[in-house]
Structure 1
Amino acid sequence: RSFPLCPDATSRCQVMLVTCLYLASYTLLLCGFLGLLRFLDALRKRGVLMPPDRSRRTMRGVRVPLYEQEDPHVEHVFVHYMVFSAEGPWGQGTLDSKHLVVFIHGLGGLADQITWGADGGLAQRLVNSGYTVLALDLLGHGHSDSPDVEVGPDEFLAQIVSLLQRLDVSEPFHMIGFSMGCLLASMYAAKFPSLVKGLVLDSPFSCHLPLHTVQPVAVLYGSLIQAFFGGGNCHSRALYNTVLHLDGRRWEPALVSLNNSALPVSVMACSPMLSNAWSVHRAVRRSHLFVVPFGIGASWARGSSEIQRSVRDQILSLLGKSEEHSHTE
């Protein structure tokens, strides 16, 4: 004898069915995405997606220790960097440490991310205002080495420290970080406060939420960017190792140090995604929060030309305030 299902049982069955359909569609989408990555990677290996003249012989870079220690047996890695200035070829200009801005990209990003957008991007706007811009490819990104070891914030920080030392940057400079680069810039400023005039943190990544919720998305996003645009050595393995070693708790000591210092800190975020920026803003009480209405990440390069100009002007204004603060000390 059969009995009709009660409403609660029916609801549970419907929920289970919807959940199964959702998981199945997500799996199919993921498989299709991975298939697309394989296809793009195959095209890249055949040279279809490779831009011309990307040999390291045409690049600027130095070899630095993988870890922050003076051990001759420590593995050295190649770090690619670009300099944008009023003198010299674009991307290979003359380094002027007196008016320097150091840009640190995010997970899956590239050094030339600062040139994206209309009219030469933020880099051109900064150069037109008298600044020199130094941008580097983090390990596992762009044209920097992708070492076959676990890489995380500590290794990235050691890379930044070693590069600036090799380039003889000894005068205070500005730092702009984007996404994961915000954490690295904050860690550097906390460790070397006398070398940093001010921080601009654009779209800081999750500070307190468990990062395992965004790991698959971040890895696939970075892999797609690199596979599509080609020309680098940003491997899925390197990205995966990086994401696994990102920990929101790494923010805490850096933010505590920044809060106890007089260093000017500015936080930028888009209006739909303010939670992470608010976390940083609350932790550093003297920081300034700038919201881009209806914007998206890297707003200096995306969205309408009006939004791009507004964001670039705001960044210049923040750098100017940091200059004034450093002169009054």
Structure 2
Amino acid sequence: MKKLVNDPNQVVIEMMEGMLEAHPEQLKRIPGTTVLARKDAPVQGKVGLVSGGGSGHEPAHAGYVGKGMLDAAVCGEVFTSPTPDQVYEAIKAVDSGKGVLLIIKNYTGDIMNFEMAAEMAEAEGIQVAKVVVNDDVAVEDSTYTTGRRGIAGTVLVHKIAGAMADSGASLAEVEAVANKVIANVRSMGMALTPCTIPAAGKPGFHLGENEMEIGMGIHGEPGIEKSEIQSADSVAETLTNKVLEDLKLESNDQVVLMVNGLGGTPVMELYIVNRKVAQLLKEKSIHVHETLVGNYMTSLEMAGCSVTILKLDQQLQELFDAKAEAIAYKK
């Protein structure tokens, strides 16, 4: 294992300490926790937004803490759900009296622990709502998941729900718009190489020198097929067509497109994939309102990418276009 770490069991804490040193004007750590929150949390008159999950997906989720996005992110151990008490501390830290929305990726451990935390907070009189992101069209049920997995589309839920919360909307209104994003966003990914959890010290799965896997999950969960490595255009076509088939877009629809790297793929290659995805959308007269290319939700050093498409209406477009100032995303 070749990694720039010290103690493999301290990577999350040391990562958080490094983030705090880099962004002291934006972030604070809730003492005794693995929660990173907005420096000014709780923000009065605003619904609080909390997300999180296992670490190893950076910049998700702490990179999206900031004005117009999340109020706090809970950092679990690598690829491991944060414990209920950590999520509970995050809820308390961001509640200003208007309630808190939990944005959860669809993994069994995350759902169980976030729901337990919500019950603890509600027992203290805090209003809590929950949404579950399930944008991955690759497989219906998989390792750690009943139903579809939550992957890079989660970032767009953070953005749009964050804008809605910033507008002073109620908890019910923020929850409704988050669910609207979830209903209109789809993603699918692929992997060229495995990744290594620091504490494990060896790759989580095996792909041959000339192999790739289509539909791979962000923790290395199996996809829909292994095959010989294909060209960037072929991969882009496979991912995009599967997403479009599920999303059922029509001519002249407006979308946000995200081509997301999994941590080990050069940005050069992501732009090559984006070139083909853009061509496919133009051929179908689907208009791209904005394109995001880069590492938004990674899998440590896994090589590969995912394609995410969000169908917009006027409300979602206005909220997507609203100002945001997080570490990893500025609008």
What is the TM-score normalised by the length of structure 1?
A: 0.36
Structure with the largest fraction of strand: 2
What is the TM-score normalised by the length of structure 2?
A: 0.36
